[in-house]
Amino acid sequence: MSAPGALLARGSVPGPTGLLAQLALALICAGYAVGAAVGWGSRELAVIMGDFGLSAGALVASVSCLLYARSSPPRHRPAWLLFALSSMMASAGNFVWGWYEVVLDRKVPGPSLADLFFLCFAPPAIIGLLVLAKRPVTRAGWVCLALDAWLIGGSLLTLSWSLALAHTTRVQGESVAPAALSLAYPLLDIVLVSMVLALHFRRSAANRSAVNTAIGALALTVLCDALFTSPLLRESYRSGQLLDAGWFAGSLLLAYAPWGARRPLEPPRPPRGPRAPRLPSRPVAGSLAALTPYLAAAVCTLGILYNVVQGRTVDRVVVLTGCGVVLALVVRQGIMLLDNIALTQELAQKENHFRSLVQGSSDVIMIAAPGGTLRYVSPAASGVYGRDAEDMVGTPLSALIHPDDLGRVLHEVRRFLAADPGDESTTRIECRFRSGRGDWLNVESTVNRHQGGLIFNSRDVTERVRLQAQLQHSAEHDPLTDLPNRALFTERVRQALAGRRAGDPGTAVLFIDLDGFKGVNDRLGHQAGDELLIQAAHRLGDSVRAGDTAARLGGDEFAALILGDGVHDKAARESQVVEIAERLRLTLSQPYRIDGNDVRVAASIGVAFAEKGINPADLMRNADLAMYRAKAGGKDRVELYAPQMQAEVVRRTELAARLRSALHEGEFALLHQPVVSLTTGRIEAITAQARWRSAQGILFTPAEFLRVSGDTERTAELGHWLLEEAVEQAAERDRLGHRVPVTVRVSARRLLDRSMPLATVEALLTRYGLPSGALIVELSDYDPLIPFEELEQRLAGLRRLGVRIALDGLGSGHAAFTALRRLPVDILKLDRELVEGIVESARLHKITSGLLRIACDLGLQSVADGVDVPEQIIALRAMGCTHGQGMAFAGLLDEYRLRRALVRDDFTVPGGLALPVPHRWRVEHPQWTK
């Protein structure tokens, strides 16, 4: 049995209720048969059971079919109604027969009303079978169906006529009615048997068992009718004999048919495992249908031979019927021959059609034998693989697959062959395939089973694989520098921490930030900035070792993963990684040639080492913290991560969070430090400084809280508050008669910020009525990378408003001299570092003296910051410095103490003659000399 047949055979099993019904049916039929065999114990009971018992059984069958017809599908309902009518006729015939024999106690006349009912049993059953039969779809099918029915009926008629019917007609020949009645029973039975054998019936999953059982019940009834009409039993038949048990069983079987259908259950899933190839099997039903005409002709021949052997004269009915059967067989064979010719032509057309599809397909179709040898290759192979199909036939499939992919392909093929075909009819395999040009193509194949071998439907997907690889590369690499991006770098770090190098303390992550890159963007444009990033990426990629990873995280931030060498000595591994980091710093800090100009940036590098149990996110965070520490420590340096950096970050984060609300909650205060004339001891100006006194009572300087804030928006807001508060208080003091200019420190970048236009300063001066010359802007943090042209224009605009410009930090670096050379300033402020060592260091004394001489020659006012002791005052005054501020005079003062100092306006200045105030200062700023 084939696998589908086995599944159908196991497709349904009787339930507990069905088993009980079958057992009850068997017991009832067996009891009736036993009673009939022993004569029921008495003549009277035998007649009753033989007549009314059969009537009751047929009545039960009729009622059962009628009830089932009410719930059956519409297309099956007429058939079951006809079966119910047929059983009702049988019940009525047996009832009339019993009426004569039991009630009237007389022999049944022939013919009688019972014969009429019995004759009406076959036509409804025949029509019901026609309703259930499958209708042919062509005219030839209808003709063949009619011929098959005639072949079966004619052959049965020939055989039965030769055996019994001819004798019956001769016995009953003197009377037409008995002869006709004797012939009617077998002829109707022959028609019924012919319909059962010739027709193919519609059996759905719901009524398959019911139809089969009903056909079996009718066949059993017809068999009993045939025995009843035979001459041997016809004369000796009495009611209640064993023949009645067959009719009774047929009626009960028909009654059981609608309700005894077996319940379909899911077949048990067969265990997976290798299976031997199955040979194709031919269905038995199809073979019997093909042999039916020849079997019918054989039966007809047997009927004729029986007459010849018995020495009888061949009856005309046998001759005519035999001739009709032979003619029908010839006609049927002719129709079948024409049908076969048409099917052959159609098959040839379809074969040509599919051959055209295979040959014209862009996919390569290959059939491999169970051993892996190619038995067929479609012509598309020449276009896809660059190899002739004929040359590939006979080649082992393994010889064409890339060696690195062969193991995976064999594993997938074996798994596919071991799988259940019902669960997995196809599989898909992708591998590299050798082409006729010598290169390897990426081939995707859909694999199907084929007579123990495999069918490969293959297509070239090399372009798709290349595009996928390109998309994968784009998703994992930076589009500008082509270095790995943050996602791929994080994955590489994860692999380094989880692979065979897990726990290697020499593995380190470097975070790199280019100092001054924003200035390059602002000064030369973003295109130049992109070119700088590309060159920096090339330098970084060339500088790391083989096996290490360089990446761009975004903006001007880069990173490098340094894999450890298994060295567990802490000092050795730190020295090795620091050496690599210093080499990267020096390489990245070399000048970049962009658009014919040398551009310089520095590199701040943070280093974090992999510790046991650390995850990628924490390791990268540590390197980031170390990098920010390097930037905060002066930039252009390498900083190693230390655990206290995390605590500092937490502190800075908390401080920054409190700073956001401190300004609105009034926690900031404005303090002032007097700028005193070194000749007269009088206050000539004041410097405004902001201080933050937190809710915890901690006093923070601007350098502290601006460094931790990291919020440019908050810094700008604080700068605006400082400027407005200083102008407002200066205007208030001016109204009270203390006309002392106020100095506000502003960074160069802050002056270039669009959030602080000239209109803002002009609006503040106008709103509070501060006179010209009463506001001094102290320029700080001037980076040589900022656009000096724009800064010069901004300072010139402030001077037009009457704002004086002071240059802070003179002597602290090259940037201050560049600003002095290019920017319009009025006041020079000496850096605190120069003032602190002016007494002890002769070198600093000479440098400071030179700077003050330059300021005097330029006609600029000079102010020394950090004057804390009288000796510094004497030395500065001797050099020509005119003003100073520091603890030698006063510290930071609140508004109340400042006004008291302004009222007193007299600080003690150590001896020496008073120096003349420069003429230019007295003319332009009369309020300073008062």
Q: What tens digit of pLDDT does each residue of 766-814 get?
A: 899 989 889 999 988 766 667 778 888 888 888 888 999 998 876 555 5
State the Cα–Cα distance between residues 291 and 286, nearest whole angstrom: 9
510-523 pLDDT per residue, tens:
999 998 888 888 77
Q: Lowest mean pLDDT: which of 347-356, 483-492, 530-539, 584-593?
A: 347-356
Q: What pLDDT, on the 0 to 100 scale, is given for residue 150?
A: 63
How do strand 453-460 and strand 440-450 relate by DSSP bridges? antiparallel
Q: How confident is the model at residue 536 (pLDDT cuts 50, 70, 90)?
A: very high
Token pair for 664: 């609105």
Of 300, 346, 874, whose CA–CA distance to 354 is shortest?
346
Distance in angstroms (rounded) separating the CA atoms of residues 262 and 282: 26
Q: pLDDT tens digit string along 418-438? A: 888 888 888 999 999 888 888
Cα separation of the two ends of the chain: 125
pLDDT at 161 > cutoff 70: no
For 165, the token pair is 């019917």
Is pLDDT of 552 > 90? yes
pLDDT range class, residue 825, cuts 50, 70, 90? confident
What tokens were used for 538?
Answer: 């090339």
Grade residue 922 by pLDDT with cuts at 50, 70 and 90.
very low
* pLDDT tens by residue, 49-67: 888 888 888 898 888 888 8
* For residue 820, pLDDT beyond 80: no
- Res 291: pLDDT: 60
CA pair distance 759, 680, nearest whole angstrom: 37
457: its two tokens: 């439907």
3 state DSSP class of 775: strand
Helix (H, G, I), strand (E, B) or coil at 861: strand
The pLDDT of residue 918: 40
Q: Are 657 and 647 in contact (CB under 8 A)?
A: no
Which position has the higher pLDDT, 89 or 313? 89
pLDDT higher at 261 or 459: 459
Q: What share of the chain is helix, strand, coil (3-state, %, to 5)?
A: 55, 15, 30
**pLDDT score of 844 more than 80:** yes
* DSSP state letters, 805-819: EEEEEETS-HHHHHH
Predicted TM-score (pTM) of this structure? 0.48
pLDDT band at 267 (very low <50, low <70, confident <90, very high): very low
Residue 620's pLDDT band, with cuts at 50, 70 and 90, is very high
Dump the DSSP string for 814-846. Answer: HHHHHHHHHS--SEEEE-HHHHHTTTT-HHHHH
Least confident range from 1-10, 23-32, 610-619, 877-886: namely 1-10
Q: Is the pLDDT of residue 272 over 50?
A: no
**Percent of the chain's residues with pLDDT above 70:** 72
Per-residue pLDDT at 439 exceeds 60: yes
List of residues 6+ apart from 726 with CB closer than 8 A:
670, 688, 742, 744, 775
Element (H, E) at 513: strand 508-515
pLDDT digits (tens, 9 = 90+) for 724-754: 999 999 999 999 888 899 999 888 878 887 6
Highest mean pLDDT among 155-164, 349-358, 645-654: 645-654
